[in-house]
Amino acid sequence: MGSRLAADQVADFHRDGYLSFNNPVFDPADFVRLKAIFEEDLARYGEDDLDTIHFRDERLMEFLMHDRVLDLVEPLMGPNIGLWSSHFISKPPFTGKRTPWHEDSAYWDGRISTMENLVTVWLALDPVDIENGSMGVIPGTHVGGFSDYTDVEGGIFGSEIEAGQIDESKAHYFTLAPNECSLHEARIIHGANANTSPRRRAGYTMRYFPTTSLVNPERNPGHKIWLARGRDMAGNRFENA
């Protein structure tokens, strides 16, 4: 157990709400295996049915609980880490939909006691850049987490943050090679343009929470969580408790 982040990277994350990690997350052979699992699940379930994919494909638990991932997460939230969720995201060439500006916290409100320090690792499975719809974040917006929303059509979600609350000129868009990742806090405003390029854009989101936060069973029917590292601090109902 340790840290793969320097002190200044940790400080940047807490100040800005995000971080780009432009180094390999997994060993090359492990990444090849993970991408092969993704291709199998994509072919089996289709691009619109890949959320909480680890519930159906237990092979993914090896990667979600891997020290090379947890050593990125621990310096950002502390030593007691719960696995919140995971999701393969695939936007096909030319037709990949826009991801409206949103906060994860707004969609998860009430499901967990606090969104503070809930971290998503966004692992690139394909080369990712602004041309094929890379994710963008608005730095520093993680201090809020519950903006006002309006209905929208043609995106992955049916609502987005009202335009007057966002300064898109401040957006930072990630450029990632396969096996690199970004990390962002659940409250930060983020989104992605449609993929109109001839290249697919695929990634794996691995989401973690500090076990000082309590997951509400009544608001999470059928949802499973695991203790990834350390110990539970809030009375959570982990699958591996």
From CA 41, how far away is CA 50, in angstroms rounded? Answer: 8
pTM (whole model) above 0.85:
yes
Tokens representing residue 36 in the block: 């092969």
Q: Looking at residue 40, what is its pLDDT?
A: 98
Is 157 in contact with 103 (CB distance < 8 Å)? no
pLDDT tens for 176-217 read 999 999 999 999 999 999 999 999 999 999 999 999 999 999
Please list the ranges in the chain whose pLDDT falls under 70. 1-2
What's phi and psi for 210, nearest 5 deg? -75, 140
* Domains of the chain, start order: 7-229 (2.60.120.620)
Which among 182, 196, 186 has a CA at the least distance from the CA of 144?
186
Give me the residues paired with residue 81 across strands: 210, 229
- Cα distances from 93 to residues 96, 194, 224, in angstroms, run 6, 9, 32
